[in-house]
């Protein structure tokens, strides 16, 4: 056992967390946990994992559910393509692998939503196969200990780090090795303010010895924020409410929302009612706005949404084709962005009073 493995495994024994997907390494559970944890903190994903496997205990039950049901379990977690891909991949397993979770790296990698990282994680943790999982934690830990300044979001960097990770991999215990590096990155070698005074790698850590902890890892990517203006219509028709599905290739794809008028800038109510999209939604001109909320700012990683809710009473003749008319009691069946859900919950609560 190399010095690196010795230090790491010793640290892991003392600091390993009890996480639900570590109790039972069946591939289905490991797979679901890895998808949920993509770009998602353990604290945020844990409850989702427990609810997901309770609702869909087997690959078969997942494959035979509707996409709406799967998206509903994902509501509030973000990056919803993960849920759509999980659903699709469950059907891949039923159709291509006879309902048995695939047992080789290339087969696992062929599942929709499973990239190099997730394939390596599942293959090593569930099947003991010698593949190094390289995630954000691994980039950070290796870049610091070995003093590597190659940008982790470049193809050169991805290649360099994955090759180093494969060299370091403990091929006798690839699963626990991968888990240990990631756990070390998550708990000890943290992105900001790591407590290097209690780090077992303090002696050999290149970044620490050069006082370059805050400089590593290097990322070049700079994200640009796009501003968007959403005017949501809360249309009341007798006791029902109106939803529509977002089918565009955009945020919240396939989730449901209130009918939306997006504009290029913030609109006054006067500007809204003469807006082209507003007119195209309604057959008659006699629409009156009952009330409108102030602008709510909703922040996404790449977008800043300026959102307003417009309340309108509707006559029956004005139900649009693409609109779904539902009773409020059925809202729990529809996957809805958290932003919309919060608004509707608030409306419902007021009604109860």
Using CB under 7 A as the criterion, which residues of the chain lie in contact with DNA when the complex forms? Answer: 19, 22, 33-34, 37-44, 76-81, 85, 112-119, 121, 135-137, 139-140, 154-156, 179, 182-183, 185-186, 191-193, 219, 221-224, 226, 249-253, 298-303, 337-339
Residue with tokens 């509030």: 76
Shortest reach from residue 51's CB to DNA, in Å: 15
Environment class of 107 (CB within 10 Å of its CB; exposed 0-12, middle 13-18, buried 19+) = middle
Q: Do residues 292 and 311 make contact, with C-beta atoms less than 8 angstroms apart?
A: yes
Return d(Cα 55, Cα 251) in angstroms, integer.
Answer: 25
Terminal-residue alpha carbon distance, the chain: 67
At 120, list the tokens. Answer: 């390596």
State the Cα angle at 333 between 332 and 339, rounded to 5°: 55
Shortest reach from residue 30's CB to DNA, in Å: 9
By beta-carbon proximity to DNA, the closer residue of 192 and 239 is 192
By beta-carbon proximity to DNA, the closer residue of 259 and 337 is 337
**Annotation marks residue 212 as catalytic:** no
Q: Do residues 217 and 143 make contact, with C-beta atoms less than 8 angstroms apart?
A: yes
Shortest reach from residue 7's CB to DNA, in Å: 18
Shortest reach from residue 166's CB to DNA, in Å: 15
Catalytic residue among 34, 160, 179, 183: 34
Q: Three-state SS string across 135-151, please?
A: CHHHHHHHHHHCCCCCC
Return d(Cα 297, Cα 304) in angstroms, integer.
Answer: 7
By beta-carbon proximity to DNA, the closer residue of 170 and 312 is 170
Return d(Cα 29, Cα 37) in angstroms, integer.
Answer: 12
By beta-carbon proximity to DNA, the closer residue of 201 and 278 is 201
By beta-carbon proximity to DNA, the closer residue of 19 and 326 is 19
Active site residues: 34
């Amino acid at each position: 056992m190399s010095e690196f493995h010795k230090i790491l495994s010793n640290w892991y024994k003392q600091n390993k967390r009890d996480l639900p997907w570590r109790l039972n390494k069946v591939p289905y559970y490991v797979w679901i946990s890895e998808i949920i944890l993509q770009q998602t903190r353990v604290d945020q994903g844990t409850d989702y994992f427990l609810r997901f496997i309770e609702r869909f205990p087997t690959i078969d039950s997942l494959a035979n559910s509707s996409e709406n049901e799967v998206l509903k379990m994902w509501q509030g977690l973000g990056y919803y393509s993960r849920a759509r891909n999980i659903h699709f991949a469950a059907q891949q397993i039923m159709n291509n692998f006879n309902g048995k979770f695939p047992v080789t790296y290339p087969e696992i990698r062929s599942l929709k939503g499973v990239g190099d990282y997730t394939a390596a994680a599942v293959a090593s943790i569930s099947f003991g196969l010698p593949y190094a999982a390289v995630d954000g934690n691994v980039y950070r830990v290796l870049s610091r200990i070995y003093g590597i300044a190659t940008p982790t979001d470049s193809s050169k960097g991805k290649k360099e780090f994955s090759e180093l990770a494969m060299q370091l991999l403990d091929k006798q215990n690839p699963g626990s090795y991968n888990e240990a590096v990631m756990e070390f990155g998550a708990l000890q070698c943290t992105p900001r303010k790591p407590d290097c005074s209690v780090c077992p790698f303090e002696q050999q850590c290149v970044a620490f010895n050069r006082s370059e902890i805050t400089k590593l890892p290097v990322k070049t990517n700079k994200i640009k924020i796009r501003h968007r203006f959403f005017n949501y219509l809360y249309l009341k028709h007798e006791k029902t409410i109106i939803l529509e599905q977002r089918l565009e290739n955009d945020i919240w794809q396939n989730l449901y929302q209130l009918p939306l008028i997006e504009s290029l800038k913030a609109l006054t109510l006067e500007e809204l009612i003469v807006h082209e999209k507003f007119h195209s939604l309604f057959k008659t001109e006699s629409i009156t706005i009952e009330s409108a909320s102030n602008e709510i700012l909703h922040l996404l990683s790449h977008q800043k949404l300026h959102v307003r809710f417009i309340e309108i009473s509707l006559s029956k003749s004005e139900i649009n084709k693409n609109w779904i008319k539902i009773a409020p009691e059925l809202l729990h069946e529809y996957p809805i962005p958290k932003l919309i859900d919060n608004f509707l919950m608030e409306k419902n609560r007021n009604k109860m009073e």
